[in-house]
């Protein structure tokens, strides 16, 4: 039963759908999807086209907006919007340390999670689209991993789309995870260097925190073991428009003087555990590298292996000399499943996913080369999360795709840029710009 309610300027309706776990076995096990339908209050009775929003991640639930902020307000001017909690996230059938044991042991859990990639998300969209639109195609807006899903959509079911809009999410069509991370670490270093240029006082602050962590066993209030590698992973913040400033404010109050000497402050620990914990999005950690698996090669903890090729990220070596500590970025490592209490029970499951050798292709280059769906993509110059060179190579491989390459925004431009990013993409897709 659908339930409707109101926020300022918006009418919202909760929608629930049942879809196959494995779309190749439509009569087999099913899971539930949740989506929130939104329409402007003054257009609630109008017959409007649909826009479905695919969140970044993987493993991220759809935004919970209050009112009509950013791109959402722009979309509501002409669309009914469907905010989909992709399978395993949000209010859809969850996949986490509490629910996955219902599947059985680690092997059964890994087999289950193999159905949580972009191809399955596209099939979910196609399964629910007739119920939502009456069969009419819809516009998809894909942010980050949602953009990966959108390229998969153009590959698998372009007939379901009236337009495809992508922000910070053009994947390589054929790169292995190793290729992705070999391109990523130099970008990450550039972001860290830029941060220290903006906030030079943070060089010493970061070194001091790292030195403390190398010589002390620090367990955060939620049970997270804060190692120096975990501290370095806070560099993921540097991929957002305000990330450098937020990191700076976190570092400036890290220590407090106590009767036992200087210790990491409660305030620092509280903020840090919120930034590092995967309790709210465990799928991000579990299937992050699997989104790059497209053949018989295992991902095999790619980010961890490739990191060893970039010794400047070694904290102990940096502290032994006078080098600044380098933060890391959007990468998942096996030690996270030891540090994070939300991930610890899933360590063996993660190992099995990392060793998996039966991944299938997510994209169809021939179909993309013949694309007829109006499509546009925002490519953020030197995006920390998605390699610009990979993105532009893919853009050239999709027939008719128009790109907007900009250094005005970071990876979160669709949120930080208000209505401007969606405005621009719509104009490009409609050949109005």
List residues with catalytic annotation. Answer: 144, 358, 411
SS3 letters across 194-258: HHHHHCCHHHHHHHHHHHHHHHCCEECCCCCEECHHHHHHHHHHHHCCCHHHHHHHHHHCCEEEE
Hey, what are 266's tokens? 């409660």
- Name the maximum alpha-carbon separation found in the chain: 70
Using CA atoms of 83, 88, 94, 100 in order, give the dihedral in degrees to the nearest 10. 180
> Is the four-CA dihedral 262, 263, 266, 268 of positive or negative sign?
positive
Q: Helix 106-113 vs helix 347-354: angle between axes, to the nearest 10 degrees?
A: 60
The residue whose two tokens read 């339930």 is 3
| CB neighbours of residue 175 within 10 Å | 18
Closest CA to 385 of 75, 146, 72, 45: 146
Closest CA to 327 of 241, 205, 174: 205
44 phi/psi in degrees, rounded to 5? -60, -25
């Amino acid at each position: 039963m659908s339930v409707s309610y109101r926020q300022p300027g918006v009418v919202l309706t909760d929608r629930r759908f049942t879809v196959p776990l494995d779309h190749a076995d439509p009569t087999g096990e099913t899971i539930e999807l949740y989506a929130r339908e939104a329409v402007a209050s003054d257009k609630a009775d109008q017959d409007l086209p649909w826009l479905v929003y695919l969140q970044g991640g993987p493993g991220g639930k759809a935004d919970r907006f209050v009112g009509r902020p950013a791109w959402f307000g722009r979309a509501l001017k002409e669309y009914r919007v469907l905010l989909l909690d992709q399978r395993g996230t949000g209010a859809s059938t969850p996949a986490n340390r509490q629910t996955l044991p219902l599947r059985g042991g680690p092997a059964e859990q890994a087999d289950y999670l193999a159905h949580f990639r972009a191809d399955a998300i596209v099939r979910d969209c196609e399964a629910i689209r007739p119920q939502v639109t009456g069969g009419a195609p819809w516009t998809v807006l894909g942010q980050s991993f949602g953009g990966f899903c959108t390229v998969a959509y153009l590959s698998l079911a372009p007939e379901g789309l009236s337009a495809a809009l992508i922000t910070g999410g053009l994947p390589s069509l054929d790169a292995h995870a190793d290729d992705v991370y070999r391109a990523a670490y130099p970008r990450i270093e550039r972001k860290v260097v830029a941060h220290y240029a903006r906030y030079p006082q943070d060089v010493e602050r970061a070194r001091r925190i790292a030195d403390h962590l190398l010589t002390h066993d620090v367990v955060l209030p939620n049970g997270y073991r804060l190692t120096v590698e975990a501290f370095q992973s806070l560099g993921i913040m540097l991929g957002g428009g305000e990330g450098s400033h937020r990191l700076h404010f976190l570092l400036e109050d890290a220590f407090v003087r106590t009767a036992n000497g200087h210790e990491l402050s409660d305030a620092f620990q509280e903020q840090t555990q919120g930034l590092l914990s995967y309790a709210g999005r465990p799928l991000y950690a579990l299937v992050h590298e699997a989104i790059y698996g497209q053949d018989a090669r295992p991902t095999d903890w790619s980010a961890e292996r490739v990191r060893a090729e970039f010794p400047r990220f070694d904290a102990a070596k940096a502290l032994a000399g006078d080098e600044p500590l380098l933060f890391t970025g959007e990468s998942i490592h096996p030690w996270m499943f030891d540090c994070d209490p939300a991930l610890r029970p899933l360590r063996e499951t993660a190992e099995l996913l990392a060793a998996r050798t039966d991944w299938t292709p997510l994209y169809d280059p021939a179909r993309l080369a013949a694309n007829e769906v109006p499509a546009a993509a925002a490519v953020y110059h030197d995006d920390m999360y998605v390699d610009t060179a990979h993105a532009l190579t893919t853009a050239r491989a999709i027939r008719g795709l128009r790109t907007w390459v900009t250094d005005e925004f970071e990876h979160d431009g669709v949120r930080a840029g208000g209505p401007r990013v969606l405005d621009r993409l719509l104009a490009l897709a409609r050949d109005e710009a």
